[in-house]
Amino acid sequence: MAGPLATLTVVEFAGLGPAPLAGQLLADLGARVIVVDRGTAPADPTDINRRGKRSIALNLKTREGLEAAKRLIEGADILIEGFRPGVMERLGLGPQDCPERLIYGRMTGWGQTGPWSATAGHDINYLAMTGALRAFGPGDGPPAAPLNLVADYGGGTMFLLFGLLAAVIERGVSGRGQVVDAAMVDGVPAMMGLIHGLLAQGRWRNERATNWLDGGAPYYRSYACSDGKFIAVGALEPQFFAELVARAGLAETDLAAQDDTAAWPFERARFAAVFAQKTRDEWAAIFEGSDACVAPVLDFAEAACHPVNAARGVFYEAAGVTQASAAPRFSRSAPERPHPPTGPGADTDAILADLGYSADDLAELRAKGALT
């Protein structure tokens, strides 16, 4: 094995969304990740969150299946689960049922405690309750969902990983594991320090598309081009704004009035009229290599083959599926490219053999319905 996390063993209980991505990112960096699945199924090369992982299919409602899961957990450093509070305890696999040195990662939207902790929800709901969703979208319509990147994966996956690896470091001092309660309604606000600061300073308005980062500023938004495609402008700093103005041919712009919010509606309309005169790719060529902070808005297929991304190998293709390479990059302990996803339960026999189960033991487990 290679990668900076090659010494870690992770047991992930199959689920959806943020927890599988957390397991994938750990596996991408070399961790040995084993997914506990509910049943076997064919491999699906499009299930990218399974890449680099192994899988065991167990019936946890049988005594033998539960015992196999516990034996698997005994050899693990980290456990990841994304069920509602109490589900793992009812299975007999709660934190109190696990070794003291285990780091027990719990991924939910509302957290392990609180009045909504047992309530269903999705990214958009968690984002709504943090105040962040209110800031996305045009000023003349309802808030827009930013895919499921902000709550599920930003406030969820990334904070789960942050907590797990922090607990690994702390265990190196104390010798003890602990529970990491990662909730999306905790993680999203934790990313909003800048916005909270601007609110406290009176420099952020609640109305959408009236602020410098929400599309209100003429120098930080997307514009339609003559071919119906878009260009993204992010010239925040004065020197970059000056470069934008010069290359776009907006000579009459008052550079000193960049942050005159009263003039923003007029300036947005003027910028829009200018960008509508050329195609997206014509504008991209004009701004190529400049510090104007302008980039073409690419679709997913274009992003995968754009020269800037290709030069870094940001994407690669496996079994006909385009996907992102492992991130971030390491100078010394670079991970290998992850192996393609295997099917749920594909590694059951091999994993159990590693745990000391014999061929006769496996036959008995199957006879008792412990293996699914």
CATH classification for the domain delimited by 220-312, as one of 2.30.30.100, 3.30.70.60, 3.30.1540.10, 3.40.50.740: 3.30.1540.10
- What number of CA atoms fall less than 13 Å from residue 113's CA on the CB side? 2
To the query of whether residue 281 is one of the catalytic residues in this protein, the response is: no
Q: What is the pLDDT of residue 1?
A: 60
List pLDDT tens digits, range 333-357.
Answer: 999 999 999 999 999 999 999 999 9
pLDDT at position 199 over 70 = yes
Q: What percent of the chain has pLDDT over 90?
A: 98
List pLDDT tens digits, range 163-178.
Answer: 999 999 999 999 999 9
What is the average per-residue pLDDT within 2-7? 96
What superfamily does domain 9-191+327-367 belong to in CATH?
Answer: Crotonobetainyl-coa:carnitine coa-transferase; domain 1 (3.40.50.10540)
Catalytic residue among 37, 77, 123, 152: 152
To the query of whether residue 152 is one of the catalytic residues in this protein, the response is: yes
pLDDT band of 45, cuts 50, 70, 90 = very high
- Do 9-191+327-367 and 220-312 agree at the fold level? no
User: DSSP 3-state assignment of 119?
Assistant: coil
List pLDDT tens digits, range 72-112.
Answer: 999 999 999 999 999 999 999 999 999 999 999 999 999 99
d(CA 10, CA 221): 41
Mean pLDDT, all residues of the chain: 97
Q: What is the pTM of this model?
A: 0.95
Catalytic residue among 122, 291, 306, 349: 122
Residues 6+ apart with CB under 8 A from 203: none
Q: What percent of the chain has pLDDT over 70?
A: 100
d(CA 8, CA 1): 11
Q: Per-domain residue ranges for the chain?
A: 9-191+327-367, 220-312
